[in-house]
């Protein structure tokens, strides 16, 4: 299997293109400054993952910025930290401030010359618009949880992706390479949907772990595995 055989790269954004763990950690500092357990960065992000996943299951149609505010409220309650509505709302509105990975814009600019680029994201459209400005590339299609009415790893999100890439871009699932960091949100459900997959293993340099995503029982087999998007672009450049 070669990277060049595909016509569309469908991307998870947060964790893959945008450094959402650094963004989340920074956005949680006002709450953490008020008290709570001293869990460290990874422990705090793991707590976030548990509450985010539970909230997404409870309210799948809730816009992501509002969902983040509820997750922040849950964390404050779990940690016994006093926080007002303004602090919860500020966390919910923090997505556009989350930084891009340093290699994302340049690698996307290269890949844009060879593929149709598509986003399949768990955020809302307004939040993604802020992130898109950091990535500096025109995506051929953007599909969000706000459009779909559910959050990954719900299989509906991948059914929607396949249906709309076919309808909007004229490409079948065999032309798609789903490119993502999260095993939980992306690789497990994309495998069940029958899509080829490229793992951008951003946490490899951190010694593994699941961070701000829920862990999976077994690592699914992937078709390509790179530590960064730059490494993927270089492999394509070399004919890999």
Catalytically active residues are: 12
Q: How many residues does the chain have?
A: 240
- As a whole number of angstroms, the distance between CA 85 and CA 25 comes to 19
Is omega for the bond preceding 153 within 30 degrees of 0, making it cis?
A: yes
CA atoms within 13 A of residue 161's CA, in its CB half-sphere: 36
- Side by side, which strands form the sheet with 224-226? 141-144, 116-121, 8-11, 176-180, 196-200, 224-226
DSSP 219: P
Cα R_g (the chain), whole angstroms? 17
What residues contact residue 226 under an 8 Å CB cut-off, 6+ apart?
Answer: 198, 199, 200, 201, 232, 235
Instruction: List phi, psi (to 5°) of 198.
Output: -120, 120
- 8-11 and 141-144 beta bridge pairing: unpaired
């Amino acid at each position: 299997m070669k990277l060049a055989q595909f016509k569309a790269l469908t991307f998870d954004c947060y964790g893959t293109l945008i450094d959402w763990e650094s963004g989340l950690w920074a956005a949680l500092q006002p709450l953490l400054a008020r008290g709570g357990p001293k869990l460290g960065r990874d422990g705090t992000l793991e707590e976030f993952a548990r509450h985010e996943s539970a909230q997404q299951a409870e309210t799948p149609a809730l816009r992501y910025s509002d969902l983040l505010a509820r997750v922040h409220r849950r964390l404050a309650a779990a940690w016994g930290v006093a926080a007002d509505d303004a602090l919860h709302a500020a966390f919910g509105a923090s997505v556009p401030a989350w930084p891009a990975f340093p290699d994302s814009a340049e690698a996307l600019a290269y890949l844009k010359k060879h593929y149709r680029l598509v986003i399949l994201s768990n955020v809302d459209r307004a939040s993604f618009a802020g992130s898109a400005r950091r990535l500096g590339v025109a995506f051929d299609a953007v599909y969000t949880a706000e459009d779909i009415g559910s959050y990954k790893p719900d299989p509906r999100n991948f059914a929607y992706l396949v249906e709309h890439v076919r309808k909007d871009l004229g490409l079948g699932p065999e032309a798609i390479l789903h490119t993502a960091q999260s095993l939980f949100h992306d690789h497990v459900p994309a495998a069940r949907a029958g899509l080829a997959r490229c793992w951008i293993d951003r946490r490899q340099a951190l010694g593994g772990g699941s961070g701000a995503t829920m862990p999976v029982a077994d690592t699914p087999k992937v078709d390509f595995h790179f530590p960064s998007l730059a490494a993927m672009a270089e492999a394509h450049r070399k004919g890999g």
